[in-house]
Structure 1
């Protein structure tokens, strides 16, 4: 083996190590917004009507942004905002429209997974834009992460009317590229530590449902965020056990548990709450873990830039999450 070839191999290995290998590749950060930019509102899941969109429209306009309502806003197909074909076509139009700088999914529920394989991200990958939302929008967040493009886990038009002003402000800051750093009080049952890495994740049930598909996350050397709503405790355990068995937790740098809202138990109790279930599994990985971080199906649903590098610290008194520019 020649010295030149050895040098090339060593240089390649050093380069990969500096980014943690493929899983730590640099993510594309869509261009931040500026006043006058246009944001599209669309339905990828449950239906949403124009009159309900007014608070979100007013919010965007107060930030100096223009708004375009997608063709799916106002469509009614049982639970969904239009048929699968209509929702896919509307989203595709907004992906390809260069005048649209961000796409805000109107609400969650269920339905995004029914259209994900119909979408063509070819043009989007060359000219990425912000895609925003939470809950069922995790399908898009996870798929975009596999494409190497960051996205915003945030409130949606459906939740704007009940969102506190400070929560809306976190979305504005994220969209316009301003500094994001969250410091919240520790609850006392966290697993302490410090970590750096890309933030990935979203709704636990959705991540669980995507396992084995081409939209499934790569979590190696990353910090995983999870949250959920209206689940039985035994099913939280089932999902966490599945993530564990699929290697999702094996090389994590940290775990952020957001809202675990309206959890249920059976007539015969499971024997652990969500904190106990997750701690029992996570404690074996020697990583920082926090609970009830203000994001998810909670009123205090702060914006998270998924795919961005963060510094995460859990100590005796505080939980700190800082997004790096």
Structure 2
């Protein structure tokens, strides 16, 4: 993977478009809290009239959600797109999108979890970087530090971010940061929406996945050969990890499935569900230090 083109820095009073490309929006109080964070910052966050639509577990039909995304992306006044929530559904849009219909002007796409599918596909097909960061239904519950990191990064007020976790496998490498949800990423590899994984530092997180299911996904990655392409692996939060008895711990799964790769691995980094979710730019230059347990990165706009 090559470094991507990032959007320009943004400033208060500019227009932000909210969209719901994935699951149906039900957490309205949490959604309004996230909207308030943006508006209190001085941004003009616009909400489409039909954001509340639902079709089963989806926030409307594929056509409706795809149209929402395309209109926001092509809106010349909109400088960033804030996804309402994750859930499931953004990968279905990749069947509908015609990449040529999207403007070639880089624009911040902000979200995580299910939004991984759009973030990775935009990096692959458009060569543009987005931001793996809180969605609107989680932003209001973020600690002040990660909220500040998000806006400082978007507004060009910070040169670099260093996250501290725990080194699992030693060594230090520089590569291209590719963050995402492990379940979504596992379903994207070996498709034409997957970025080239050569020279990549893979940053992964997930929620409600038991150690044996994480084991199964990593075993699939081993079979595909993609793990051998990576420069390093940064592991965020794997919350609500149901543990059956008997079970390996999550750390034991990491060691068993990853330690023979001979690349630096850092775990327990502050990103993912159910806690601090530091912003991770998709496609930026990053350094992973397994000796000191850190992930450092910068965006050169």
Same fold (TM over 0.5): yes
| 1:147-226 alignment, distance < 5 Å | 147=125, 148-177=127-156, 178-186=158-166, 190-226=168-204
Corresponding residue of 1:105? 83
Q: Are the counterparts in 1 of residues 10 and 155 from structure 2 also a CA contact under 8 Å? A: yes
Matched, 1:280 2:256: yes
Deviations 1:148-190 (A, max 9, x none): 211100011101221111111111022112323124253xx61
Q: What CA distance in whole angstroms lies between the structure 2 residues aligned with 1:159 and 1:51?
A: 11
Corresponding residue of 2:291? 315
| 1:223-302 alignment, distance < 5 Å | 223-267=201-245, 269-270=246-247, 272-302=248-278
Equivalent of residue 281 in structure 2, options 298, 305, 321: 305
Q: What CA distance in whole angstroms lies between the structure 2 residues aligned with 1:206 and 1:121?
A: 20
Secondary structure of the residue that 2:169 maps to in structure 1?
coil
Q: Are the counterparts in 1 of residues 234 and 295 from structure 2 also a CA contact under 8 Å? A: no
TM-score of the pair, normalised by structure 2: 0.92
Secondary structure of the residue that 2:236 maps to in structure 1?
strand
By how many angstroms is 1:309 displaced? 0.6
Which segments of structure 1 move beyond 6 Å, counting only runs of 4 or more? none
Q: What CA RMSD, in Å, does the superposition of the two structures yield over aligned residues?
A: 1.9
Q: Which structure has the higher relative contact order (CA within 8 Å, separation 6+)?
A: 2
By how many angstroms is 1:52 displaced? 4.8
CA distance 1:210–1:62, change in 2 (3 Å) = same
Q: Are the counterparts in 2 of residues 72 and 81 from structure 1 also a CA contact under 8 Å? A: no
Deviations 1:119-165 (A, max 9, x none): 23325451120101110001111111212211100011101221111
Corresponding residue of 1:18? none
Q: Are the counterparts in 1 of residues 131 and 279 from structure 2 also a CA contact under 8 Å? A: yes
TM-score of the pair, normalised by structure 1: 0.85
Q: What CA distance in whole angstroms lies between the structure 1 residues aligned with 2:225 and 2:179?
A: 15
Question: How many residues end up aligned between the 2 structures?
Answer: 297
